[in-house]
Homo-oligomer: A and B are copies of this chain.
Amino acid sequence: MKKVNYKTLFNDIFLELQPIEKKGAPASYIPELSKVDPDKLGIHLSNVNGEHFYQGDSDERFSIQSISKVFSLTLAIRLIGKNLWSRVGVEPSGSAFNSLVQLEHEQGIPRNPFINAGAIVVCDVLVTHLSDPKGELLGFIRKIADNPTLQYNRSVAESEMATGDRNKALIYLMRDFGNIHNDVEQVLDLYFYLCSIEMSCRELARSFMFLATNGMDQSSGEMIVSPSKAKRINTVMQLCGFYDEAGEFSFKVGLPGKSGVGGGIVALHPGKYTVAVWSPRLNAKGNSYIGMRVLELLTTKTESSIF
C-alpha cells in the first residue's frame, strides 16, 4: 500500500462521483428510513496509527441497521465461543437475506450470522447468557466505540417490529426446529433494537477498529476477542457481509465489511485501517450504491485490496 494523502484522495473521489446520476433510493419499508435526505454522503477512515481522515457528512448519525449484527456476533462469540457454530453456519447463503427455504431444508440452522435468521439466533444466544440483554449489548457497543452517548432509536425499533412479519416467520420456524431457546417476543425485541442503533461514520470506524488490530482495543489495551476470533469475524464479513453481492464487493473493494439498509458500509484492512461510508440510496441488492463506488475507488487508488 502506497503512502496516501487521504484528504486529497477523498476530495478526488467525491468530485469523481458528483456527476453520477442519482441511482437508487433509500429503503422505504419503515418511515424513519424513507425520510432521510437521500443525498447525504460521508466517509471516515481511521488507521491503526490513530490518524483520521474524513469528508462530507461523516459526523452525522444514521441508522446503521444490519451493520450492528457484527456487534451482536462479537458479543455472542465472547460469551460462548465456538459453540455458536453449532447453531449458525459460516457459509454464504446464495439466497435472499430473509428466505425461509434454506432454513426449512437445513433444519432451522441459518447459513451465517448476517442473514436475518442468523442474527436472530445470535440474539437468542444473548438473551440466554445476559441478565439485561438490551442494556448489556448497548453497553458493549458503547465500550468498543469508546462512546457512552450511543443509543437505540426506539421509534425505529418499533417500526421494525410493526413491519416484522417475515422475521417473525423466521423465528417461529427456527423455534419449531429447536434452534430458539427463549421467548420469541423477547428475542425479537432485542433484534429490532439492535437494528435501530444510530452511529456516524466516525463512530463506526472507531467501533470496528478492534477487528483491524487482531481483536485488541489499542487505546485501552483490552482484548475484545482473541486474534483467532477476530479473524473468524473478518472472514464471515468477507463472505457474507453484503447480502447476495459478496462476490461483487470482494472484487471491487476487496476488504471484509458489512453493509446496512440505512446506506452505511464499514470495511477494514487488517493491520491497516477501518473505513465507514454513508450514502442512503440503495442498489437492487440492498447495498449503498455510492457507498460501494466510494470504497471501490478508495481501494483501487490506494491499491489496498487484500487480493
Contacts and interface: CB of A to CB of B under 8 A. Distances in A.
A52 interface: no
Nearest to A232: B251
A244 B91 contact: yes
A36 interface: no
A264 B109 CA distance: 30
A169 B172 contact: yes
A101 B172 CA distance: 15
Contact of A175 (B112, B165, B251): B165
A34 interface: no
A234 interface: yes
Contact of A176 (B89, B112, B165, B172): B165
Interface string A152-186: 00000000000001101110110110000000000
A119 interface: no
A86 to B, nearest CB: 14
Looking at chain A's contact residues, is the secondary structure mostly helix, strand, loop, or mixed?
helix
B94 A102 contact: yes
A15 to B, nearest CB: 22
A239 B307 contact: no
A247 to B, nearest CB: 4
A39 interface: no
Interface of A: 89-95, 99-105, 111-112, 165-166, 168-170, 172-173, 175-176, 231-232, 234-236, 238-240, 244-248, 250-251, 254, 256, 270, 305-307
29 contacts: A89-B247, A90-B247, A91-B244, A92-B94, A92-B246, A94-B94, A94-B102, A99-B104, A100-B104, A101-B105, A112-B247, A166-B172, A166-B173, A166-B176, A168-B169, A169-B169, A169-B170, A169-B173, A172-B172, A231-B305, A231-B307, A235-B247, A235-B251, A238-B250, A239-B239, A239-B246, A239-B247, A240-B247, A256-B307
